Amino acid sequence: MKKLIQLLICFLCTFSTYASHFSGGEIRYEFNGTNYDVYLTVYKVCESTAGAPLPNSVTINVQSVNNATSFTQALTFIGFDTIDINCPSSTNFCHNPTTGTLPGYIQAKFKSTITLPSQASDWHISWQNCCRISGILNGASGQSFYIDTWLDNTAAINSNARMTTAPSYYISANDTAVIPLQTIDPDGDSIAYKIIEPLSAVGTSITYAPLPYSLTNPLGPGGICKIDAATHTLMLKSPTQGMFDVAFVVEEYRHGVKVGSYIRDITFAVVPSTPKLSYPKQSTTNPTFVYTCPGQSSNSIVLNFTDPTSTDSVYLDVVTPALTGWTFNKVISNGSPSASATITWSTPSVLNPATLPYFYVTVKARDNACPSSKAEYSVLVRTRQCNADTVWPGDANGDFTVNIYDPLAIAIAAGQTGPTRTGATISWTPQYCANWATTLVTNNTNMKHADCNGDGTVNNSDLTAVTANYSLSHPKGGRSKTTGINDLYFDMTGINMTPGAHVSIPIKLGSSTQSINNIYAIATQVQLDGLPLTAAPTITNNNSWLDNSSSAVNFNYGVNNTTVDWVLGRTNQQNVSGQGTIGTLNFTVPTSLTIGAHYQLSFVNTVLIDKDGVERYDINQVEATGTLQQSNGVAGVVAKINAVSIVPNPSGNTAHVNMSLKADADVNVTVSDVTGKVVWSVDGNYAKGEHSIALPAGNLAGGMYVVRLSTGEGNTSVMKWIKQ
């Protein structure tokens, strides 16, 4: 150990000779209910000699090119953390600038609240400073430093995802360090990562050192720099000792649309070969989020961590938020190679979920190695209104809204019995009922809420109240769900999407290489874009691997003609494992649609639970996209129709359908809008030859229309018409 410390001292002290500046940072925002709280974290080397001082405040720039808006705002210093390698008998410059022998790092934190004056799709909140730390081998040494975060607030509010683990400052030469990047999005958005070139200004990348350094090879020959999105880990390896700079962007997607992003820029040292860095890891049973409500007294989070190196001890530090009127209690059990932490609290009755929609509890985990491996993990605590003594029929889980998640509660509570409700109805009114002896594990809601019809037994008949009161709410909380690594997808194999076709599309969960364990029920919403159906689609199941035969809860609710909410749940209180088809999506493609028109099938807000209602897995909601095809054996222009066209197309206030008939024919021409509604039609008998039929261009608003020309024998041609 003594020899190792000497090697580190000799190696790392070489960096103290530079007038070091900033070694990384990130800037992110959170919506606070009214405005945006902006957080800037700057990483800086502690120095024994003169260097860039730690600022008391910083100024950020807020800009939208589309809205021609730009302004600056000062951020206030709110605190800092120091990072060291935790080697015995060593002192770093952060602890003692005079006697320190090892460099340490400071994470300086700044905050302010900004108001965006308008909606825009290109808000950039940025910070720029000169200069970066010197001595970076792959470039950037002494160059300017730029980071930003991006927001599109035209459609919805957003908060950046939160990556709790601090950057890795040290890795061992020739060792592949697997660094946790636990990322939680409070809005339930899907997370993606992308390695980028560090920036020196907006739109300007740093100049890499001469080859072999580049974006695809930032650590040189034999190096590795990549992010595994499935495991949320950053993998770094370099055989070359020295300082390196790496940057990546964290992107957020909502229903397949990018809604935000931010950059993390880090500088780390590759030190002489040391014991392998093995970061303490979370147990797979640790929750990523929990709920609380005003006055709830029994809040508890249990977190477990294990170090991959069996001889290492694990030490935990729990960081709870500073909230007025809240008291958090922590019990920590450190050990080798595992440790645990239990966090409990009582939520004040004055909590208002509208002004405090969520908060984080963070655990810092480290081992006793030298250098020490350190990681941070967070639990998102979402707030919502508490359950009342009265039952609202259909609100089976007591979250004050009747929606897709209530059939899940019925599935969990199936077979439970308790006191009946006197004068019970399924009308949307509060009805008193004595508490049952059991509660839902998910949120400690009394099981009486799942008895939606009040007959004293939870079963499928309670779904009637859910259907009757669907989408109704009283003072409510709410929920969202993030996506992850287990695929939920539409199997389009052999599906012929043609106008007029009735299609049955298998819905599959998992794959032949991805079995999903210990599942009890699923809830999801299916949306069909580009397919203006005349009736809502349905989802059926036929004794799939997920359900348990005819007694399963299979719930459909047509939100509108292109959206259906679906719940499939077991009723025997037994989890199941498997993969493959769990249901079938059924609908008829409108006959009025144009060949070549685009469509998209999507899953939204999917949740998988076990028999206790605990959300077990994140879901990768895979979309299906395509274009409508011509049916086999039917030509676009058939039988008596020799040729047909719209002239001009696109058109102004004048347009004609020109057609050539092989023989005399009765012809019908219809014009439909994008919803499938017929807005104009004409019938006539036409002789063999050329004809021109005027379209009502002057009477229609600009947009896309579908023109359908049919003969009496049922021969049809469908065309897309653009009216400008």
Q: Characterize 237-275 residue by residue with b for buried, 16 or more Cβ atoms within 10 angstroms of its Cβ, and e for exposed.
A: bbeebbbbbbbbbbbbbbbeeebbbbbbbbbbbbbeebb
Position 241 scores a pLDDT of 86
Of 61, 76, 198, 212, the residue nearest 143 (C-alpha): 198
Q: What is the DSSP string of 514-567?
A: B-EEEE-EEEEEEEEET---SS--EEE-SS-SSS-GGGSEEEEEEEETTEEEEE
Say if CB 549 and CB 543 are below 8 A apart: yes
Tens of pLDDT, residues 36-51: 999 999 887 765 554 5
625-663 confidence digits (pLDDT tens):
666 765 433 333 344 666 677 877 778 888 888 887 777
Highest mean pLDDT among 394-403, 463-472, 498-507, 538-547: 463-472
Determine the pLDDT at residue 620.
72
pLDDT of the residue at 3: 45
- In this predicted structure, the answer to whether residue 153 has a pLDDT above a threshold of 70 is yes
Tell me what percent of the residues of the chain surpass a pLDDT of 70: 82
Residue 393, SS3 per DSSP: coil
What's the whole-number mean pLDDT along residues 177-195? 85
> For residue 657, which of 682, 634, 633, 638 has the smallest C-alpha distance?
682
Query: Mean of the pLDDT values across residues 1-5?
Result: 44
How many angstroms separate the first and last alpha carbons of the chain? Answer: 78
Residue 678: the pLDDT is 77
Q: Which helix (H) or strand (E) holds 229?
A: none
Q: What is the mean pLDDT of the chain?
A: 80
**Per-residue CA distances from 207 to 149, 210, 471 (Å):** 22, 9, 55
Query: Sign of the C-alpha dihedral, residues 220, 221, 227, 231?
Result: negative
Alpha helices of 354-494 — where are they, by DSSP H?
A: 406-413, 463-468
pTM higher than the cut 0.85: no
Phi, psi (rounded to 5 degrees) for 408:
-60, -45
Residue 12: pLDDT above 60?
no
> By the 8 A CB rule, do 270 and 245 touch?
no
Q: Is 15 helix (H, G, I), strand (E, B) or coil?
A: helix
Q: What is the pLDDT of residues 285-333, one digit of tens each?
A: 777 878 787 777 778 889 999 998 888 899 999 999 999 889 999 999 9
What is the Cα–Cα distance from 41 to 23, expressed in whole angstroms? 11
* CA angle (230, 231, 235) in 5-degree steps: 110
One-letter amino acid at 706 equals: V
